[in-house]
């Protein structure tokens, strides 16, 4: 028997005898890198392992230990899935645990974060009012406008409103049209901060960003207008808008920040991931020169600025 | 000089582990006291002189069964999850799962975080779910180099992950 066969047999034996100390299924899913696949895996886990426990007819109330354990699991699942059904199940379970005195501030913040992440703003408003003194920030106001035409590929994103505190405007964009640089970033990400700062020191890059880049934040529970507004004031050439739903961007499999995706007619043709050091600036310049050779360097940054303002208003 | 000192410290830590079980508590207490005094000196020097900068360093520390060590005050499941989710690169700790640390007393949490040079994260972890405001906002942004609720997924890249912190080493 070869060495490999022996090893395989040993692993099989350990699995069969339960001696293999494997990680929990939730941890395995948590470690998946592709967010779309991860989200689907969590949804499946919820359907097969959590939902039956929640919907089974209860002859007596769920005991405290089981309730705590279920709450812990659903908190993890809800963190990674934008699924309103799961978010509402999380809220229901939280309310049950809350009534039994099993929740702490952390659980409260998580349940609230789930509502924000799933864009359930009216529920978030009710939750915020019901839990004063829990350290919750008020939910943002979302201004929605009727969108007359929905082309293929049109998605909605949130624009932090300039002069209206805690307010986001919902607008439609088509992220698949044309060629542009899609930058995934978040105002609380220190590497994004370094990237935006480095870009800001180069007039050509600033001009390029204003005309050809779309800075988007991945959806998470941190929908803090203050953070986005401060970032956008500091880096006007890199104004970050917020993705409403992860599923609207199936092309993006990696959601690390910062990531610079070159998008051309609905396809990702190249990317630059991360900002570990200053050398990344040269890589970004090369990426832009390679894919946007016609993007002329700025002769007069001021004129680009005015044009870009018009462009971003149109976005 | 620093390498020599690190080697000596590792040796002392190993001795502490052995002695705690073989010679009783007194000698181990002395070693822990020594360890604490070293930490006091190194605290001021922060990250660049962190004690634990690799899985190997961590293994040495995790092998010490002294009950007063903060790591050993974690429940077994929490300890396992904390240890399993530590990520390092050549600079040191890049990501860790902070949730188990919420069960520790703030002083113990501080002590444990300072082993990695990240004691500054103690208040951030305390306020972990309240928008990161304590660290990130205003002109302090450039001083805040750790991304809460995110995990290091590549050089200089963090991805949203429940209960993790993506550190400046990423």
Residues of A in contact with B132 (CB under 8 A): 188, 222, 227
Sequence-ordered strand ranges (E) for chain A: 141-143, 155-160, 167-173, 179-184, 213-217, 240-243, 259-264, 267-273
Pick the residue from chain A with its C-alpha nearest to B126. Answer: A106
3-class SS string, B81-112: HHHHCCEEECCEEEEEECHHHHHCCHHHHHHH
| Chain B: closest CA distance from residue A149 (Å) | 33
Contact A255, B157 (CB under 8 A): no
Q: In terms of domains, do A247 and A301 share one?
A: yes
Q: In terms of domains, do A117 and A158 share one?
A: no
Q: Give the closest residue to B153 by CA, choosing from A78, A38, A31, A193.
A: A31
Residues of A in contact with B124 (CB under 8 A): none
pLDDT confidence tier of residue B31, bands split at 50, 70 and 90:
low
Contact A41, A29 (CB under 8 A): yes
**Contact across the interface for B162 and A75, Cβ inside 8 Å:** yes
Q: In terms of domains, do A46 and A184 share one?
A: no
Between A244 and B49, the higher pLDDT residue: A244
Q: What is the model's pTM?
A: 0.80
Q: In terms of domains, do A114 and A168 share one?
A: no
CA A209 – CA A193 distance, rounded (Å): 15
Give the residue-averaged pLDDT of B36-59: 67
Q: Does residue A260 belong to any structural domain of this protein?
A: yes
Range of the domain at A48: 27-130
pLDDT reading at B136 higher than 60:
no
Q: How far is CA A270 from CA A21, A194, A286, in A?
A: 39, 21, 12
**Contact across the interface for B156 and A188, Cβ inside 8 Å:** no
Q: Specify which residues B152 forms β-bridges with.
A: B158
CA B118, A79, A150, A269 dihedral sign is positive
Give the residue-averaged pLDDT of B95-123: 90
State the average pLDDT for chain A: 85
Q: Give the closest residue to B169 by CA, choosing from B157, B161, B159.
A: B157
pLDDT in tens, A127-152: 999 999 888 999 999 998 766 555 66
Amino acid A33: pLDDT: 83
Q: Does residue A283 belong to any structural domain of this protein?
A: yes
The encoded tokens of residue A38 equal: 């991860």
Q: How far is CA B103 from CA A14, A309, B59, B98, B108, in A?
A: 33, 49, 22, 10, 10
The encoded tokens of residue B124 equal: 């951030």
- Which residue in the set B144, B159, B160 is minimally distant from A190, CB to CB? B144
Residue whose entry in the numeric block shows the structure tokens 């207490």: B29
The b/e string for A209-222 (b: 16+ C-beta within 10 A; e otherwise) is: bbbbbbbbbbbbbb
Between A42 and B45, the higher pLDDT residue: A42
Which helix (H) or strand (E) segment holds residue A26: the answer is helix A25-30
Q: How far is CA A235 from CA A74, A90, B127, B143, in A?
A: 37, 37, 27, 17
When scoring A111, A139, A188 by the number of chain B Cβ atoms within 10 A, the one with the most, hence best to mutate, is A188
Q: In terms of domains, do A233 and A188 share one?
A: yes
Q: In terms of domains, do A234 and A204 share one?
A: yes
Q: In terms of domains, do A97 and A221 share one?
A: no
Residues of A in contact with B148 (CB under 8 A): 188
When scoring B142, B160, B164, B167 by the number of chain A Cβ atoms within 10 A, the one with the most, hence best to mutate, is B160
CA A121 – CA A143 distance, rounded (Å): 11
- Which residue in the set B146, B155, B162 is minimally distant from A190, CB to CB? B146
Q: In terms of domains, do A114 and A157 share one?
A: no
Q: Give the closest residue to A101 by CA, choosing from A73, A68, A59, A136.
A: A68
CATH of the domain at A198: 3.40.30.10
Residue whose entry in the numeric block shows the structure tokens 């000192």: B5
**Contact across the interface for B157 and A280, Cβ inside 8 Å:** no
CA A117 – CA A158 distance, rounded (Å): 13
- For chain B, the distance separating the N- and C-terminal CA atoms, rounded to the nearest angstrom, is 27
Q: Quick check: B84 contacting A, CB < 8 Å? A: yes
Amino acid A235: pLDDT: 96
CA A55 – CA A23 distance, rounded (Å): 27
Work out whether strand A213-217 and strand A141-143 pair parallel, antiparallel, or are unpaired.
unpaired
Between A12 and B162, the higher pLDDT residue: B162
Amino acid A305: pLDDT: 34
Residues of A in contact with B84 (CB under 8 A): 23, 27
Q: In terms of domains, do A122 and A167 share one?
A: no
Residues of A in contact with B130 (CB under 8 A): 109, 135-137
The encoded tokens of residue B150 equal: 């995110």
Counted domains in chain A: 2
Q: In terms of domains, do A81 and A188 share one?
A: no
> According to the per-residue pLDDT averaged within each range, which of A10-14, A32-36, A296-300 is highest?
A32-36
Give the residue-averaged pLDDT of B13-40: 54
| Chain B: closest CA distance from residue A190 (Å) | 5
Q: Does residue A10 belong to any structural domain of this protein?
A: no
- Which residue in the set A110, A276, A280 is minimally distant from B129, CB to CB? A110
Q: In Å, how far from its chain's centre is CA B60?
A: 13
Amino acid A147: pLDDT: 60
Q: In terms of domains, do A172 and A60 share one?
A: no
Q: Specify which residues B150 forms β-bridges with.
A: B160
Q: Is A294 exposed, middle or buried (0-12, 13-18, 19+ CB in 10 A)?
A: exposed
């Amino acid at each position: 028997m070869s060495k490999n066969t022996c090893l395989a047999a040993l692993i099989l034996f350990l699995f069969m005898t339960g001696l293999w100390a494997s990680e929990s299924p939730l941890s395995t899913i948590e470690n998946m890198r592709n967010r779309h696949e991860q989200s689907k895996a969590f949804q499946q886990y919820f359907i097969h392992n959590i939902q039956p426990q929640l919907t089974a007819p209860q002859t007596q109330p769920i005991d405290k230990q089981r309730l705590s354990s279920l709450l812990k699991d659903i908190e993890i699942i809800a963190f990674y899935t934008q699924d309103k059904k799961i978010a509402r199940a999380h809220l229901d379970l939280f309310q049950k645990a809350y009534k039994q005195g099993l929740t702490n501030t952390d659980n409260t913040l998580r349940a609230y974060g789930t509502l924000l992440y799933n864009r359930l703003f009216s529920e978030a408003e009710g939750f915020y009012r019901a839990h004063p003194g829990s350290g919750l920030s008020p939910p943002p106001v979302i201004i929605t406008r009727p969108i007359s035409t929905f082309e293929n590929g049109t998605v909605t994103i949130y624009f932090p409103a300039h002069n209206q505190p805690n307010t986001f405007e919902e607008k439609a964009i088509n992220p698949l049209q044309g060629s542009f640089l899609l930058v995934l970033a978040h105002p609380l990400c220190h590497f994004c901060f370094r990237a935006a700062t480095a870009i800001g020191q180069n007039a050509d890059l600033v001009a390029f960003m204003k005309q050809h880049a779309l800075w988007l934040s991945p959806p998470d529970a941190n929908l803090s207008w203050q953070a986005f507004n401060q970032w956008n004031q500091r880096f006007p050439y890199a104004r970050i808008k917020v993705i409403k739903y992860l599923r609207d961007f199936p092309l993006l499999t990696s959601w690390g920040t910062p990531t610079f995706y070159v998008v051309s007619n609905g396809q990702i043709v190249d990317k630059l991931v991360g900002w570990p050091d200053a050398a990344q600036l040269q890589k970004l310049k090369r990426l832009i020169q390679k894919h946007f050779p016609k993007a002329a360097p700025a002769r007069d940054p001021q004129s680009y600025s005015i044009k870009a303002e018009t462009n971003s208003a149109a976005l | 000089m620093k390498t020599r000192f690190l080697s000596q410290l590792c040796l002392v830590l190993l001795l502490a582990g052995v002695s705690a079980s073989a010679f009783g508590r007194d000698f181990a207490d002395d070693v822990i006291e020594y360890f604490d005094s070293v930490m006091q000196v190194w605290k001021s020097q922060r990250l660049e002189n962190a004690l634990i900068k690799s899985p190997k360093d961590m293994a040495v520390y995790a092998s010490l069964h002294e009950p007063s060590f903060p790591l050993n005050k974690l429940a077994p499941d929490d300890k396992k999850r904390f240890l399993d989710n530590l990520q390092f690169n050549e600079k040191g700790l890049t990501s860790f799962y902070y949730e188990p640390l919420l069960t520790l007393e703030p002083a113990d949490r501080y002590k444990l975080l300072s082993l990695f040079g990240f004691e500054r994260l103690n208040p951030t972890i305390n306020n972990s779910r309240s928008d990161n405001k304590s660290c990130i906002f205003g002109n302090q942004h450039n001083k805040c180099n750790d991304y809460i609720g995110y995990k290091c997924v590549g050089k200089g890249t963090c991805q949203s992950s429940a209960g993790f912190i993506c550190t400046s080493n990423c």
